[in-house]
Amino acid sequence: MDRQEIIEKTELFVKQILSKDSTGHDWWHIHRVRNLAKRIAREEGADIFIVELAALLHDIGDYKFFQGDEETGAVKVREWLSSLEIPPLFIDKIVEITSKISFMHTLPAKGERSNKKNFPIPTLSKELMAVTDADRLDAMGAIGIARAFTYGGFFNRPIYDPAIKPSKSITKEEYKITEAPSINHFYEKLLKLKDMMHTKLGRKMAKRRHRFLNLFLKQFFKEWKGKM
Ligand code: ADP
Ligand code: NI
């Protein structure tokens, strides 16, 4: 099987799994992340084949689909890749990316102190950096806003409730089970992403998307108070 065939087969496999998703993990999220990750990868000199496969598979094993289980995802990704003719070293690299990409992993566990140490470790591979930045960029800006409310709606979360304050130092456990309004997610995740980019292009794009998130919030609260 040549590389193009492997990519096409994987694309079909992913499309089939995610076609009915309404939590913000739909096929078009994968499509955007894949394109952006490839663009970043080219600038960083990362391996495009690994980046493209990892981007395609990055949400297949999301713990949210497996009642919070974080291991099942890696098994599913490995199973799929093993069914294709891909060298084991490549498989390991791709599984590493899909297992480490999650924002949740950067949060402190219960009882752990939240500090800079919990943020990305500098020894990440170029491929992991490209896919992670692309995935995080898709949670920011206009698209990120649309996705946050889609997710919130799917899980019956209110848009906003002034009585429920965002958690300043949310832990991994709290993040997994939160039922807070969607606006809180901006403070618990989306506004933090700008400072969590690994690549030059990622940082540049995140800056602009971050600005748009702030603009939206400003307008949102003006309208909430009936000022505008
Ligand atoms: P990804 O897998 O793309 O990194 P997630 O799995 O964390 O993203 O979530 C999918 C989308 O839903 C993202 O855009 C994310 O910001 C959003 N989302 C996740 N948790 C919440 C939440 N509690 N409230 C609102 N939006 C959320
Ligand atoms: Ni994603």
Identify the pLDDT of residue 105.
Answer: 77
Count of Cβ atoms closer than 10 Å to residue 55 Cβ: 29
CB of 152 closer than 6 angstroms to any ligand 1 atom: yes
Q: Which residues contact 96 (CB under 8 A, 6 or more apart)?
A: 125, 128
How far apart, in whole angstroms, are the C-alpha atoms of residue 177 and residue 171? 10
**208 and 194 in contact (C-beta within 8 Å)?**
no
Count of Cβ atoms closer than 10 Å to residue 220 Cβ: 16
Identify the pLDDT of residue 115.
Answer: 53
| Ligand 2 center–CA 138 separation, angstroms | 8
Identify the pLDDT of residue 206.
Answer: 98
CB of 185 closer than 6 angstroms to any ligand 1 atom: yes
**Positions of the chain with pLDDT under 50:** none
| Ligand 2 center–CA 222 separation, angstroms | 31
The SS3 assignment for 203 reads helix
Question: Which of these, 42, 46, 35, 43, lies nearest to 127 by C-alpha position?
Answer: 46
Identify the pLDDT of residue 111.
Answer: 76
Query: Radius of gyration (Cα) for the chain, nearest Å?
Result: 18
How far apart, in whole angstroms, are the C-alpha atoms of residue 58 and residue 77? 8
| Ligand 2 center–CA 223 separation, angstroms | 30
CB of 175 closer than 6 angstroms to any ligand 1 atom: no
| Ligand 2 center–CA 140 separation, angstroms | 12
Identify the pLDDT of residue 65.
Answer: 56
Identify the pLDDT of residue 23.
Answer: 67
> What does the pLDDT look like over 28-43, one tens digit per residue?
999 999 999 999 999 9
pTM: 0.91
Count of Cβ atoms closer than 10 Å to residue 133 Cβ: 27
Four-residue CA torsion sign, 210, 103, 99, 30: negative
Identify the pLDDT of residue 109.
Answer: 81
User: Ligand 1, closest atom to CA 179?
Assistant: 23
